[in-house]
Chains A and B, each alone.
Chain A
């Protein structure tokens, strides 16, 4: 194992059995994976492909049927590894009868943090996830987005080196999604390793350095996002301020060099960009209906 390897799995397999020990599902088949320090790794796959199983095996919530899962060089079932890990579960499974402050304080205690450190850290995290106004309310009164935020805050209470995020953007509105993605990128900047699993491809594409694609428990693809998505025999040219004649001329040049023009036109923005743009505009000038989108030349 190399020194900067954070997670390593060696032909990790998981078979779910019923009460009588009969095999029900082979959820994961011989997964070999290595995740390095400082990268954002995305596990992709449809529902039931083994993403969450992998996550749970890495956390020691499940025991492997065969193979090994190592986190920081220790077995995944070792409790001490949790000192350096933050985990955001798929749904924020928190105690609904606690309020935000109590929740974070409780998890802080589980890390054996002294009271003073806890207080500082709790205040900072509540600020960071934007729950200052709701920190005294019980979690059962929280909206889904707020629950997600407090879930993220508890995952970061120990300033972890490795953050495991299970469907981090599920249930979030586009602004929340954007914030979450910014936050993930920010974690990377701080030198932390992030492992996330998601079936929202756009999210993964936006933030991940490397991805692995799982299907029916098997790893189908593994590599850097940019190189995996690069269409090597096509070229994309983007320009502004061209007249229609100039565009025509460029096309002719392409044909002259033996290329084929596949598409010429105005690119569309993503709905996400449009939405965020409208919200930003509305906040800047309240009360007025915003026209157009990100691509209308502004």
Chain B
């Protein structure tokens, strides 16, 4: 799964974030205060302006601190009532209709039906709930002001802060209840849509029963059964029958059954298909019929799909690259893609992508499950049916011992699973590799030359943690083996699957993400509606949402990370049909465009990208649909971010409402 914005650990994040928050909120507050002072000074002179400011700050502190819970609750209740009157249920009805008919158009036989179903319900929910939040929050206060119903409210001892807070809480309650119900319905829809069962293909059942009957007579046994000693345990290697299930929901599963061992009741997993497997429990009863002929009868039950709805808990490593000449680099090669998420390594050279992990050996007593999803870039087509060959090696960062554990064919667009056993006996090569890192003081080689112990290479069996890691820290090296082909990697592309979290909880987390978006939307809507008329407040809130969604792009524009220059320069290029890489002709026009127009635009963009929340980051649909756990660290960072927006929005809303005339 693509994760372009990994969230930093909360404890590292909060200090810098708090500072940034204080800077932005303080700066904006100062700006607004100075603006207000200027306006009042022009109208009534500086004395009046300062006394007004002092009065405002004093009453502001009182109004914000001395909130009456009963009044806030009364206004909250009013907002809830109003929402119900304004037919919130319509949004809900639309959602139900979407669910009813989505079933017709969603193809359960698609490659990943789980992703499809979850994408549909999560996007339907978020669009509907966000639209609803937008309309409720941005139109409520302006309506009350226009209908003058607010006159009877503000002439009671109600503080403007209570009006703003009551509205924010009220609409949040409505949205939360709605989201809760939608979450339940969606869960039912996804589970029901994906649930299916198979039966074993009728011809295969006959085949199996025949084989079992023959074995019962002892005809096959003598020729095929071979016992192999392996330590204390005996592994039976017998001719297994390849069987398959019927095709249901567009796929069938394959599996193998040993006809001879089938007499005892057993349970096996079918081969994974369409992102899931099933449990098969079976027994074969053997008997002799009236004529003395051996007969066998297969009894089996095939369970529901397993593994379609998962929440994998990944442990991510730190990614570094090694270039084709074997020197460490921050990034690999750019193969010409504008999207620089993945960096590429060249096949058949010393180039590698290196992930460093830090694990606790106690957590992985038997094996370390690695999953990867790597990009492939072909410079020649080759055999397009076949994947590009690559290898995976484990290296001890302390002594440089490297053991190549797996050679594989890349599976594009699919997760490849490799289990690194604790005891490594099967490997394709073992060698010593030193890493060369360029630093300002020259090349640092680790481990330093001459420090490698050649005895290490004599071993034939390696323990993953004892031999190949330095106190739990080890490196996983990905290399492309075919010359002139490339592998692309980003940090989240290779991870260790530490286990699975509850899918249900993960599903709820996706709704928590939508909830955060909704709460932010409501806060923006209510804040804008304290000083703008209905349609304008609506547009402004929508603007905040769209701006927030394009926050990354704005940041990149403001920091010159987008080719083609600022907004005006881009416009000039469009009009002159000039491409984005050639410089504009130097001259007065270009200077005006670049300095007079684009510099202020840049400042504005920088400010906006700081003020607006990145709504997109709160959408966890990708995580949940692709089966990755939304970790608590990310949730904590996002929840704190949400609340850090709510407080200034509430205070701003209060001051706007306080300083405006309710009547006209």
Contact = CB atoms under 8 A, between A and B. Distances in A.
Nearest to A154: B152
B232 interface: no
Contact of B70 (A56, A94, A109): A109
Given A93-B147, A110-B156, 10 more contacts: A56-B663, A61-B151, A61-B155, A79-B63, A91-B148, A92-B152, A93-B151, A97-B81, A109-B73, A110-B153
Contacts of B159: 79
Contacts of A290: none
Nearest to B148: A93
Closest 7 CB pairs of A and B: A109-B74, A61-B663, A110-B156, A93-B148, A97-B85, A82-B157, A87-B155
B661 A112 contact: no
Q: Quick one: which of B78, B151, B152, B662 has the most chain A CB within 10 A?
A: B152
Contacts of A158: 156
B572 interface: no
Of the candidates A82, A109, A111, the one having the most CB atoms from chain B within 10 angstroms of its own CB is A109
Contact of A59 (B68, B75, B149, B155): B155
Given A61-B662, A62-B663, A97-B85, A110 B151 contact: no
A93 B149 contact: yes
Contacts of B573: none
What range describes how many residues of A lie at the interface? 20 to 34
Interface in B149-165: 149-159
Contact of A83 (B150, B152, B157, B663): B157
B149 A95 contact: yes
Contacts of A79: 63, 157-159
Contact of B152 (A63, A80, A93): A93
B296 to A, nearest CB: 73
Contacts of B599: none
B70 A89 contact: no
A82 B81 contact: no
B569 interface: no
Contacts of B77: 106
Contacts of B85: 97
Contacts of A106: 74, 77-78
Contacts of B662: 61
Interface in A80-102: 80, 82-83, 85, 87, 89, 91-95, 97-98
B279 interface: no
B238 interface: no
Interface in B99-146: none
B215 to A, nearest CB: 78
A109 B85 CA distance: 21
A115 B85 CA distance: 25
A89 B157 contact: no
B71 interface: yes
A105 to B, nearest CB: 8
A95 B155 CA distance: 15
A36 to B, nearest CB: 22
Nearest to A105: B74
Contacts of B617: none
A89 B154 contact: no
Interface residues of B, number: 28
Contacts of B156: 82, 107, 110-111, 158
Nearest to B160: A79
Contacts of A151: 152
A148 B582 CA distance: 73
Nearest to A59: B155
Contacts of B204: none
A286 B74 CA distance: 46
Contact of B71 (A63, A97, A110): A110
A89 B152 CA distance: 7
Nearest to B662: A61
A128 to B, nearest CB: 18
A247 to B, nearest CB: 56
Given A94-B149, A112-B70, A62 B661 contact: yes
Nearest to A63: B661
Contacts of B70: 109, 112
Interface string B70-97: 1101110110011001000000000000
A97 B82 contact: yes
Nearest to B78: A106
A138 B154 CA distance: 22
Interface of B: prevailing SS: helix
Interface of B: 63, 68, 70-71, 73-75, 77-78, 81-82, 85, 147-159, 661-663
Interface string A225-245: 000000000000000000000
Contacts of B81: 95, 97-98
Nearest to B77: A106
B155 A85 contact: yes
Nearest to A115: B70
B74 A89 contact: no
A151 B82 CA distance: 19
Contacts of B157: 79-80, 82-83, 110-112
A263 B99 CA distance: 86
A61 B156 CA distance: 11
16 contacts: A61-B151, A83-B157, A87-B152, A92-B152, A93-B148, A94-B149, A94-B152, A106-B74, A107-B152, A109-B70, A109-B73, A109-B74, A110-B75, A112-B68, A112-B70, A154-B152
B152 A112 contact: no
B7 to A, nearest CB: 42
Contacts of B158: 79, 82, 110
A236 B159 CA distance: 55
Interface string A43-79: 0000000000000100111110000000000000001
A95 B82 contact: yes
B154 A61 contact: yes
Contacts of A80: 157
A155 to B, nearest CB: 8
A48 to B, nearest CB: 14
Nearest to A86: B155
Contacts of A89: 148, 151-152
Contact of B74 (A63, A91, A110): A110
Nearest to A56: B663
A63 B78 CA distance: 27
A27 B150 CA distance: 22
A82 B68 CA distance: 15
B227 to A, nearest CB: 82
A158 B71 CA distance: 14
B59 to A, nearest CB: 8
A73 B37 CA distance: 27
A109 B663 CA distance: 23
A283 to B, nearest CB: 34
B36 to A, nearest CB: 14
A69 to B, nearest CB: 13
Contacts of B78: 95, 106
Contacts of B71: 109-110, 112
Nearest to B149: A93
A157 B369 CA distance: 70
A106 B156 CA distance: 11
Interface string A193-212: 00000000000000000000
Contact of B155 (A82, A97, A98): A82
Contacts of A93: 147-152
Contact of A61 (B74, B82, B147, B661): B661
A136 to B, nearest CB: 15
Nearest to B661: A62
Nearest to A95: B149
Nearest to A57: B663
B51 to A, nearest CB: 12
